[in-house]
A and B are shown apart, each in its own frame.
Chain A
Amino acid sequence: MTRLQLSLVLVATAILLAMPLVGGNYVLRLATIMLMYATLAMAWNFIGGFAGYPSFGLAAFFGLGAYAGGVVQSTGVSIALAWLAAVAVGTLFALVLGFILLRLRGSAFAIATLVVTEVLREVTNGWTGLTGGGMGLNLPFFGWSPSALSAFFFYAMLALTAVTFVTTFIVAHNRLGFGLTCIRQNEDAANIVGIDTTRYKIYAFTLSGGFAAATGGIYASWIGYIEPGDVYDVLFSIKPIVMVLLGGMGTVFGPIFGAVAFLVLDEVVWRSFLELNTGILGLLIVILILFLPAGLASFDVRSLWRRAVTP
């Protein structure tokens, strides 16, 4: 990490840690959403960014984590145990699924992951005895004050974001990240230089699924009520992809910057164009991605400055 990056991380951490002291519940809620999407974007980045495998199935793991955590929490055990269950179920499912799906490449893989989300949603819908089906699942209420609750879930999400970030950083500076980048660049060549490509892709997919499921678990406890249409929403698959594209694929900071940029853009556009907001947001993102193929990471501030000041 360069000195600039390190100071950025420290400043951001300090601001985030102090947030519940200064911000109200509304600000905390926005910040929690931002952290959640940053984590989801980082989760997608493992398989989609590093390995270059276009997974459209993040919502499957998010939803699975939400339901695994929700169901366990409903039995009355501690919330930490529920979240652990969410991580365990999501990781295990990703491991098994990766073993099957990662034999596919390109669009076949993308479609397969998309279908998995639909299948899980239908299973959740149908399994009324366990999940409450279409009626949704109500999670036990804590009985805390609203401000205590929002601070608690803010810190929980922040902790998860931090763990995901540290994992991303370690992966990026390790054999795993290097090997995954090789796979993204040229999978056949990667195999020939001695990379066990299938195993590496499964690692990436499992990390992706595990972190998405953890996010889902915290989300379920935070919101207090989940239903299949909400947590298996395809937008939980799509938005993180757009965020990573925006921030820079396979980079350490890209997903976080992308998530923040996306949500800020979303908010601004929504305020200015109440009726056409999604259309305009989509257009803006298409333009950004077209002109900045490596995401916001391709912005070279120094060279822009040089070009601006030279006559």
Chain B
Amino acid sequence: MTALLELRNVSRSFGGIHAIKNVSLTIEPGQILGLIGPNGAGKSTLVNVITGVHPASSGKILHKGDAIEHLKPFQISARGIARTFQVVQPFPGMTVVQNVMAGAMFAAGISSMAEARKVAMAHLAFTGLAPLAERPAQQLTLANRKRLELAKSLAMDPHILLLDEVNAGLNTTEVEQALDLIRSIAARGISIVIIEHLLKVVTGLCSRIIVLHHGELIADDPTAEVMRDPRVIEAYLGSRFAERQMVRP
């Protein structure tokens, strides 16, 4: 069976810096996959490479068996791969519902504006933004802007959703609400890749975790194993801490 999304030896360099080195992985339908790693490990670059924002320097990316590494971002979103940005990217002067309509009209290809509006309102209701539908996007709080990113991505009718730090900058209550939302998105059968700094979030959501360090994939295992992996602990907490952890058990 072909995987939903498969990366084969994907690399991306910026000048002399190898942001991503030889990363291979697969994403299966209906999975919530955690992507973790220290700052600068290449997590966002990996998302940018998959979505065509920064095309891969080498390697292959297969979506349902088709090579997509040469496609432009708009073509990739039309194939059902949606993403959110670490720094939210709304259309600031447009209303909340218009922001979401954009996803429905272009990536999902709904040509009637009235129909797109209906779809957008449904996604706003799902993400809890319906009361703010007619507000300009720039007036939203950060937590609501993150929700707007989610609603917009969902309107694109994706089967893979890449979430780049959707919880960054949110307080504890807001994180809890965001997690509930992500769980209900996964329940619709959408595969999710979630980039996260908060380990609590990742361990709570994901059955499988991949770890990037200096652009290389150092682990791709079930969550429990990754949390015990000495290389992961070393990457996160330094070698001395890792040694102590190893001696104790």
B68, CB-defined interface residue at 8 Å: no
| Among A173, A174, A179, A193: residue with most chain B CB under 10 A | A193
Chain A nearest Cβ from B37, distance in angstroms? 23
B156, CB-defined interface residue at 8 Å: yes
B241, CB-defined interface residue at 8 Å: no
B102 touches A175 (CB 8 A): no
A189, CB-defined interface residue at 8 Å: yes
Interface residues on chain A, size class: 10 to 19
Of A174, A181, A188, A191, the residue contacting B94 (CB under 8 A) is A181
B contact residues, total (Cβ < 8 Å): 28
How does the 8 Å CB contact mask read for A170-184 relative to B, with 1 for contact and 0 for none? 000111001101100
A192, CB-defined interface residue at 8 Å: yes
B77 proximity list for chain A (CB < 8 A)? 192-194
A185 touches B91 (CB 8 A): yes
B198, CB-defined interface residue at 8 Å: no
Complex CA distance for A58 and B97, rounded to whole angstroms: 34
Chain B nearest Cβ from A179, distance in angstroms? 7
B55, CB-defined interface residue at 8 Å: no
Of residues 46 through 67 on chain B, the ones whose CB sits less than 8 Å from some CB of chain A are: 51, 53
When C-beta atoms are compared, the residue in chain B nearest to A192 turns out to be B73
Chain B nearest Cβ from A203, distance in angstroms? 14
A190, CB-defined interface residue at 8 Å: yes
With A173-B113, A175-B111, A178-B113: A194-B103 Cβ-Cβ less than 8 Å: yes
A196, CB-defined interface residue at 8 Å: yes
B83 touches A186 (CB 8 A): no
A190 touches B105 (CB 8 A): no
B156 proximity list for chain A (CB < 8 A)? 193-194
B101, CB-defined interface residue at 8 Å: yes
B89 touches A188 (CB 8 A): yes
Of residues 70 through 85 on chain B, the ones whose CB sits less than 8 Å from some CB of chain A are: 72-74, 77-78, 83, 85
How does the 8 Å CB contact mask read for A190-219 relative to B, with 1 for contact and 0 for none? 111111110000000000000000000000
B107 touches A193 (CB 8 A): yes
With A173-B113, A175-B105: A192-B51 Cβ-Cβ less than 8 Å: yes
B74 touches A178 (CB 8 A): no
B113 proximity list for chain A (CB < 8 A)? 173-175, 178
B103 touches A185 (CB 8 A): no
How does the 8 Å CB contact mask read for A119-162 relative to B, with 1 for contact and 0 for none? 00000000000000000000000000000000000000000000
A195 touches B106 (CB 8 A): yes
Complex CA distance for A186 and B74, rounded to whole angstroms: 14
How does the 8 Å CB contact mask read for B92-106 relative to A, with 1 for contact and 0 for none? 111000100111011
With A173-B113, A178-B102, A178-B113: A191-B72 Cβ-Cβ less than 8 Å: yes
When C-beta atoms are compared, the residue in chain B nearest to A179 turns out to be B106
A178 proximity list for chain B (CB < 8 A)? 98, 101-102, 105, 113
With A178-B113, A185-B93: A193-B72 Cβ-Cβ less than 8 Å: no
Complex CA distance for A196 and B158, rounded to whole angstroms: 18
B90, CB-defined interface residue at 8 Å: yes
With A173-B113, A178-B102, A179-B106: A194-B74 Cβ-Cβ less than 8 Å: yes
Complex CA distance for A65 and B101, rounded to whole angstroms: 38
A182 proximity list for chain B (CB < 8 A)? 91, 94, 102
Of B53, B92, B106, B111, the residue contacting A193 (CB under 8 A) is B106
Chain A to chain B: the 8 pairs with minimum beta-carbon distance, closest first: A194-B107, A194-B106, A185-B91, A189-B89, A194-B77, A191-B73, A193-B102, A193-B103
Chain B positions within 8 Å of A, measured between CB atoms, are 51, 53, 72-74, 77-78, 83, 85, 89-94, 98, 101-103, 105-109, 111, 113, 152, 156
- A sample of 25 inter-chain contacts (CB < 8 A) reads A178-B98, A178-B101, A178-B102, A178-B105, A178-B113, A179-B105, A181-B94, A186-B89, A186-B91, A188-B53, A189-B89, A190-B91, A190-B102, A191-B74, A192-B51, A192-B53, A192-B73, A192-B77, A192-B85, A193-B103, A193-B106, A193-B107, A194-B74, A194-B107, A195-B106
